[in-house]
Amino acid sequence: MPEAIAFTLFPTAIGACAIAWNDQGLAGVWLPEASPGHLRRRIAGRHRGALESTPAPTPAEVIARLAALLRGERTTLATVRLDEAGIDAFDRQVYAAARTIPPGRVVTYAALAARIGAAATPRAVGQSLGRNPFPLVVPCHRIVAANGDLGGFSAPGGAATKRRLLTIEDARREGPGELFDDAGDAGSS
């Protein structure tokens, strides 16, 4: 029998976000939608029968850490337990590798693929991150294209949301150069 899923919406510096959880761990994270109703419909689309609930202490701690991250605090979410039921083995590898990228840092799709091994390509990594049900906890926004472009982002707002998240984190590439060196309008959007 599937685990019962609970969810809650919570305010952040970028708008109302949501998490879902069960006894196995975090079952999903959602970034702001056009309205709380849209957010609830997205949750119901992924987790039919999920019940809106007051979070127990562990989900409440995750919410506090997510809100802190979105205020610009260097908070790690690498230890948050995930319910990875239904997630294929390759995606699990990609998500585990992405979770090693600390707040304020970015790596390229190619660099993340190299961390995973010979079977991973930058394209496959990007496709996996596009399926990520745990944005921010699996920090897919911290992976960028080798040419300095942001690359894709499947959350509402797309690349503009990705840029906003990286700006909040004051994100920089590992090594020489700054993430936004070629994007003089990084603060506008």
Phi then psi dihedrals of residue 56, to 5 deg: -70, 175
Contact yes or no for 101/143 (Cβ under 8 A): yes
CA atoms of 121 and 21, how far apart (whole Å): 31
Phi then psi dihedrals of residue 51, to 5 deg: -110, 130
Q: Is the dihedral of CA 126, 75, 62, 64 positive or negative?
A: negative
**DSSP string of 21-36, one letter each residue:** EETTEEEEEE---SSH
Cite the active site residues.
Answer: 140
CA atoms of 153 and 59, how far apart (whole Å): 25
Element (H, E) at 43: helix 36-46
Three-state secondary structure call for residue 149:
coil
